[in-house]
Amino acid sequence: MHLDIRPCSALRGEVKVPGDKSISHRALIFGAIAQGVTRIDHINPGGDVSSTVTCLMKLGVDIRFDGRFMFVGGKDFFDLQAPTEVLDAKNSGTTMRLLAGLLAAQDFSSTISGDDSLRRRPMRRIIEPLQQMGAHIDSTDGCPPLHIHGRELNGIEYEMPISSAQVKSCLLLAGLGAWGTTTIIEKEQSRDHTERMLRAMGAPISRVGNKISIRPGKLHDIDIKVPGDISAAAFFIAAALLVPDSDIFLPHAGVNPTRTGFIEVVREMGAHLKITGEKAVCGEPVANIRAQSCELQATEISGVRIPLLIDEIPIIAVLATQARGTTIIRDAAELRVKESDRVKLIASNLRNMGATVEEFPDGLSITGPTKLRGAEIDTAGDHRLAMAFTIAGLVAIGTTRILQPGSVTISDPNFYDALSTLGVNGVV
């Protein structure tokens, strides 16, 4: 299956991006172990979040959707039911890693697996600290499926070797059901949706400097309105910046400071962005974003900034091809173990489109501006790559063919429809 993209001009209008995927996962999982019924508004409709719903239901959690709200009937932490079949996380690393923390402390055994892509992703990063807490987990050379033999856990102090919100969240979930205090030490801050939501639901959690500590405790139900996903918004912002005479408005987007690295970077590149109406909703900051076309300058990204924009690097790379100068991205080796080897595929696909790209073990160097030309894009079924190169196709000469475009449903099923409403008429 493929999709052909042709260049266009003057994208204009409003896009309501889907609910934040990271927050949606957490709302479901925390709601499943909270007292009462958690009501979730604007939940992400993508395949990854659906995987979390399915897995929780196999654990005996009552989840209903009425067309707008998702209702999650909470159970006590230790009242989940032993699944009668393998829990299938499909393509969702968040589903697997967060649920592993929850399952490790149960009094039953379970197995969680996924698709071919997920079964290649590294899980030692959660297995090893969970084992330090007393967990018994079998894997295939550190990769899924994970066979989790639930048992009593003890709190630990753990310094994370790499910055990862998924690893942190996994261990905090395990800490909710462990004896004593669990303390996570971050070298570099990662997205903090877990800490914010657990605090809002009454968990005994605290942060001092780079240390996050949690003790066993009960959660209470709350009403959650999920902000628009800034990672999804990034593609439309990029489209507005690149396509001449464009003006796109994105209401109610999440602007959590641990997620706005993309906003900061594109502003450094000269982006015309207006952020208005900022307010807090369920502990998460949201705002309206307006993006307009402009000329861009190269920038450099590395170090502590990388965890704050790791999912946006594919679209930043596309922007870099149209920026004046050389954009350098380093310390991003984590991209090689995402849904695909994103470093390799960004480099090869951009070269096929005529861009000047150098590939490093931990990043990229991209020199622009370059007039891109249409090419066949290998997405490897990676939703971020499919969306990023669709945007590249809007400013390329000729036709850009996106292979496996259906992968966008993992995070934003309405992505191509939204582009059409903005004036893209080259989607075939």
Active-site positions read 311
CA–CA distances in Å: residue 148 to residues 87, 96, 106, 171, 216: 11, 11, 9, 15, 20
Q: Which regions of 33-177 does DSSP assign to beta strands (E)?
A: 34-35, 37-41, 62-65, 69-73, 87-88, 109-113, 136-140, 143-149, 157-159
CB atoms within 10 A of CB 114: 24
Give the number of C-alpha atoms closer than 13 A to the C-alpha of residue 290, restricted to the C-beta side.
7
Q: Residue 301 in contact with residue 267, Cβ under 8 Å?
A: no
What is the 8-class DSSP label of residue 326? E
Distance CA 419, CA 397 (A): 18
Contacts made by residues 358-365, CB under 8 angstroms, sequence distance 24+: 360/330, 361/333, 362/330, 362/331, 362/332, 362/333, 363/302, 363/328, 363/329, 363/330, 363/331, 363/332, 363/333, 363/335, 364/317, 364/327, 364/328, 364/329, 364/332, 365/326, 365/327, 365/328, 365/329
CA–CA distances in Å: residue 263 to residues 133, 266, 275, 302, 424: 38, 5, 10, 15, 24
Question: Which position has the token pair 């790791």?
Answer: 310
CB atoms within 10 A of CB 76: 12
N residues, the chain: 428
Of 229, 226, 205, 208, nearest in space to 217 by CA = 205
Annotate 347-379 with b (16+ C-beta within 10 A) or e (fewer).
Answer: bebbebbebebeeeebbbbbbbebebebbebbb
Give the number of C-alpha atoms closer than 13 A to the C-alpha of residue 153, restricted to the C-beta side.
34
> Roughly what angle, to the nearest 10 degrees, separates helices 21-32 and 93-103?
20
